[in-house]
Structure 1
Amino acid sequence: MDSWSLGFDEKDVESYAGLGAERPWTPAPASRGQRSRQELPAGGHALRVRIIADYICPWCYIGQERVERLARELPIALEPWPYELMPQLPPGGLPRELVLGRRYPRQYYERLREQARQEGIPMEVPERLYNTHLAHEAALFAEAEGKGWELHRALYRAYWAEARDIGDRDVLCRLAEECGLDAHSLDRALAEGRYREEVDRRQAWARGQGIAGVPTFIFGDGLFALVGAQEYGVFQDVARRLLARLARE
């Protein structure tokens, strides 16, 4: 069970992890004109999973792969949700060691790489940490264009496999183009701050729910919450139990 809860201005970097219990979540309404690429399957009983995460969190990257695998097995729809771990990071980011110091030993990163290998995803720990607000804005733009999941996945790969600056507009536009989106339209949307307030609103909702660590996975409209990149079997068990519960209702 692994997650991050970080603040750039904090003296200590806290590693927060825990198994969620049933609690009363209040789902935030979807914004007009925006939709997730992963729609709920037609007919039968389906379960939505809201993934509250940040692109610079390694456990979010790993956890996303696990719930993607779950979505191929069970009738669930994945809904990415923005959460900035380090909103104070400046443009261009800062060296990882300057921000985190030596709090994470070599064995910690070896474990990360091993977990990534088990999921079949590349991982090289980048030397810099970047501000991700623009990346989350770009993800909402892609969501509105029906390419949300493609860009969401590309952002993780760009950072964790290629160490690209996902806080840079030019990088984001190139990634968008690679995903079949119009780069000029995204550049204009980012320049105008078209999705800035929506990113802030979604983050405020998450923090208002007491979410302090990512990734956090909210199943259904608040039926259950898991914190951390749980083992695949945990996701599988929770989803199956909740789907069975929905089928009985």
Structure 2
Amino acid sequence: MERVDRLRDDYDITIEGRAYLLRPDTPQEGRVREERPGESDDELSEPLRSQARDANLIMRPPRNTPNSLYSLQATEYAQENGKFMEYHHAAYKAYWDERADLGDPSVLAEIGASVGLDGNELQERVESGYYSQRVVDQYQEALGYGIRGIPTFVFDNLLFSGAQPYEVFQRVMDKALEYRAADNDA
């Protein structure tokens, strides 16, 4: 995630999060996550283990798989209130480091409050489904573009997926800027 922050600063760009429902068939209450072969209590199996290490990320196997609708609605609230990246970082840490249940609106409210959002309002919006149609619309839009997983990054007309080294972000950003310059010269 620090790569995205660095990219934002190095290229003076705005980062916009878009919703993508993970495992949309997960029940609202979530489900217990089965341990995968090669996992330990503190490390995911390969290739995620190596990818997390290479990216300097902590990714401990979560104990449950939440339905992502509530979490994505909370993210929309954070973005609407100018705290997208702060909330995103805090939610990531809560899920992967602390194994918090991101399907629980009260947990999402606590995360929001920890980054300066109104936790009570966040929880009310999530529980009422205030952002649910927006989330579903963004998910449908992503599917329409052929996006089938996260993280996916779009810079102008360039799209790539997966946790990547910073150098990949730089190359994509430089290529996007090169295309923009060519379009402006035409």
> TM-score, normalising length from structure 1?
0.65
Residue 156 of structure 1: aligned partner: 92
Structure 2 residue corresponding to 1:105, chosen from 7, 32, 38: 38
Q: CA deviation at 1:111?
A: 4.6
- Deviations 1:123-155 (CA, angstroms, capped at 9, x unpaired): 212122111100100111111111122112211
Q: CA deviation at 1:74?
A: 2.1
Equivalents in 2 of 1:116, 1:72: separation in Å? 23
Residue 171 of structure 2: aligned partner: 237
Q: Which residue identity does 1:166 align to in structure 2?
A: L
Provide the secondary structure at the position in 1 that maps to 2:8.
helix
Native 8 Å contact 2:19 2:139 kept in 1: yes
Residues 72-221 of structure 1 mapped to structure 2, 5 A cutoff: 72-97=9-34, 102=36, 105-106=38-39, 109=45, 111-220=47-156
Residue 46 of structure 1: aligned partner: none
Native 8 Å contact 1:82 1:136 kept in 2: yes
Q: Which residue identity does 1:125 align to in structure 2?
A: P
Q: Which residue identity does 1:234 align to in structure 2?
A: V
Q: CA deviation at 1:84?
A: 1.2
Pick closer, same or farther for the CA change 1:219–1:171 going to 2, 3 Å.
same
Q: CA deviation at 1:170?
A: 0.7
Q: Which residue identity does 2:139 align to in structure 1?
A: Q
Equivalents in 1 of 2:64, 2:130: separation in Å? 27
Q: CA deviation at 1:238?
A: 1.3
Provide the secondary structure at the position in 2 that maps to 1:125.
coil
Pick closer, same or farther for the CA change 1:171–1:108 going to 2, 3 Å.
closer
Q: Which residue identity does 1:224 align to in structure 2?
A: L
Native 8 Å contact 2:21 2:69 kept in 1: yes
- Count of residues in correspondence between the two structures: 180
Residues 41-52 of structure 1 mapped to structure 2, 5 A cutoff: none
Q: CA deviation at 1:184?
A: 1.4
Equivalents in 2 of 1:125, 1:108: separation in Å? 6
Native 8 Å contact 1:87 1:132 kept in 2: yes
Q: CA deviation at 1:232?
A: 2.4
Q: Which residue identity does 1:191 align to in structure 2?
A: E
Equivalents in 2 of 1:115, 1:209: separation in Å? 25
Provide the secondary structure at the position in 2 that maps to 1:83.
coil
Provide the secondary structure at the position in 1 that maps to 2:164.
coil
Q: CA deviation at 1:231?
A: 2.9
Pick closer, same or farther for the CA change 1:116–1:191 going to 2, 3 Å.
same
Pick closer, same or farther for the CA change 1:71–1:233 going to 2, 3 Å.
same
Native 8 Å contact 1:91 1:168 kept in 2: no
RMSD of the alignment, in Å?
2.1
Equivalents in 2 of 1:232, 1:148: separation in Å? 20
Equivalents in 1 of 2:2, 2:17: separation in Å? 12
| Runs of at least 4 residues off by over 4 Å | none
Q: CA deviation at 1:110?
A: 5.3
